[in-house]
Amino acid sequence: MAGINANAPSALEKEQIIGMMEKEMEYRVDIFNKLTHTCFNKCMENKYKESELNMGENSCIDRCVSKYWLVTNLVGQLLGNNQPPM
């Protein structure tokens, strides 16, 4: 059979791959939402005085995001996933 690629994934394999990709996207969105929620609550005041972030808020968010990714990557490595989540 000249027109059929023996290495091409079957329909079931394609479905499994798509399912894994969907789970990966859900995981990434969940991590992003948790990061956003955590750093917002940590760095932002309850009263909004200005439309822009001030220097202290910017610094806090930078440090928070950096630490969040560091910890997320370390936990992933400890659990056997050697690749960072994003």
Q: pLDDT digits over 10-59, tens only?
A: 888 989 999 999 999 998 899 999 999 999 999 988 777 788 888 999 99
pTM of the model: 0.63
Return d(Cα 2, Cα 6) in angstroms, integer: 10
pLDDT of residue 73: 84
Tell me: pLDDT of 84 over 70.
Answer: no
pLDDT band at 4 (very low <50, low <70, confident <90, very high): low
Residue 78 — φ and ψ, nearest 5°?
Answer: -65, -30
